[in-house]
Structure formats: C-alpha cells, structure tokens
Amino acid sequence: EAGVAQSPRYKIIEKRQSVAFWCNPISGHATLYWYQQILGQGPKLLIQFQNNGVVDDSQLPKDRFSAERLKGVDSTLKIQPAKLEDSAVYLCASSWGGGARNEQFFGPGTRLTVL
C-alpha cells in the first residue's frame, strides 16, 4: 500500500514570496491533515479536512495560509506571502475517518526555509 506522498521535499524561498505544497493521501482515506513542525517542537495541526470539507482550521493563520482539497483527494497548502517564522517542516497525514481511533499516517514532509 502506497503511503502519503508529499512534494516538494525541500523548498527555499525569500520572505514575501509565495509557496505551495502538495499532498496525496493514502487511497480511500477520507480525512486529511496538515501539520506545521517548527525545529525543536512537535507538530501542530493547521487544518483538517473530511473529504473536501474543512473540519478544523482554528490554528491556520488565514491572513497568509490557505488550503484546499478539491474532489476530496489531493490537497494543497499555500503560503502567501511567506515570513521568516514560517520556516518549518510541513507534514501531511491521512486517516480512514476522523475519530480518535483512526490511526493517522504521515508523509515525509516538506522542509521550507524562508530567507
């Protein structure tokens, strides 16, 4: 079974530029998550989708971050414009459903460096 795919793996941009990350979840997984992991910290949830609807985006900085999951499969996370403090690893995860008993499977992450 293929795992969660993410691209690109690495990205370096200058502040005020835009960047987009892509995630392809495990086939059949209805729930998709984006996490931000700043160096030395644990991952922090940014947004959760159930199919193509948003379940929780309370931690998403909506003035600069946006995410979509058209057709309930792939998802993109965008930052526009980027700030220095956005340097982090962005993790995508998926699960069969949204309940606490559904294991989340994580992708390898995209490491973003903002200069």
Partner 1 sequence: GNSVTQMEGPVTLSEEAFLTINCTYTATGYPSLFWYVQYPGEGLQLLLKATKADDKGSNKGFEATYRKETTSFHLEKGSVQVSDSAVYFCALSDSNGANNLFFGTGTRLTVIP
Q: By the criterion CB under 8 A, which residues form the site for partner 1?
A: 3-4, 31, 33, 35, 40-45, 48, 55-56, 91, 93, 95, 97-109
Name which of 54 and 115 has its Cβ closer to partner 1: 54
Name which of 82 and 94 has its Cβ closer to partner 1: 94
CB of 43 to partner 1, least distance (A): 5
CB of 86 to partner 1, least distance (A): 19
Integer angstrom CA distances of residue 42 from 13, 82, 92, 111: 23, 21, 14, 14
Q: CA 107, 112, 115: angle at the middle one, nearest 5?
A: 175
Name which of 27 and 41 has its Cβ closer to partner 1: 41
CB of 16 to partner 1, least distance (A): 30
Residues 107, 95: Cα–Cα separation, whole Å: 12
CB of 35 to partner 1, least distance (A): 8
Residue closest to 113 by CA, chosen among 4, 33, 17: 17
Contact 82, 114 (CB under 8 A): yes
